[in-house]
Amino acid sequence: MKALLGKWKAALQNYWQRQRRLRKSWRQQRYVALDLETSGLEPKSDQVLAMGWVVIEPPVLDYQQAQYFVTQAQPDLKQSPVVHGLVRRDFLDATPPQQALEQLATVLNGAVLVCHHVQFDWQFLQRLAKQHQVKLQPLAKFDTLTFEAARLRQQQHHIARGSLTLAACRQRFRLPMYEAHHAYSDAVACGELFLAQAYQYAGSSEASLQELLAKAK
Q: Tell me how far apart the alpha carbons of residues 165 and 175 are, in angstroms, rounded to a whole number.
A: 13
- Domain at 24-214: CATH architecture: 2-Layer Sandwich (3.30)
Name beta bridge partners: 70.
50
| Helix axes 144-154 and 183-202, enclosed angle (nearest 10) | 40
143 three-state secondary structure: strand
Backbone angles phi, psi at 113, to 5 degrees: -80, 125
Q: Tell me how far apart the alpha carbons of residues 150 and 24 are, in angstroms, rounded to a whole number.
A: 23
Q: Is 70 exceeded by the pLDDT of residue 83?
A: no
H or E element that contains 64: strand 60-70
Look at residues 172, 105, 202 and name the one whose alpha carbon lies nearest to residue 216: 202
| Summary mean pLDDT of the chain | 88
Q: Which of the pair, 52 or 92, is modelled with greater confidence?
A: 52
pLDDT the model gives residue 82: 45
pLDDT tens-place string over residues 103-150: 999 999 999 999 999 999 999 999 999 999 999 999 999 999 999 999
Q: Could you state, in order of their start, the residue ranges of all structural domains in the chain?
A: 24-214
In this structure, how many other beta carbons lie within 10 angstroms of the beta carbon of residue 210?
Answer: 14
Look at residues 86, 81, 57 and name the one whose alpha carbon lies nearest to residue 69: 86
Q: For residue 44, how far is the Cα from the chain centroid?
A: 19
Overall average pLDDT of the 31-37 stretch: 96
Q: Tell me how far apart the alpha carbons of residues 23 and 70 are, in angstroms, rounded to a whole number.
A: 36
List Cα–Cα distances, 124 to 51, 145, 156, in angstroms: 11, 17, 33
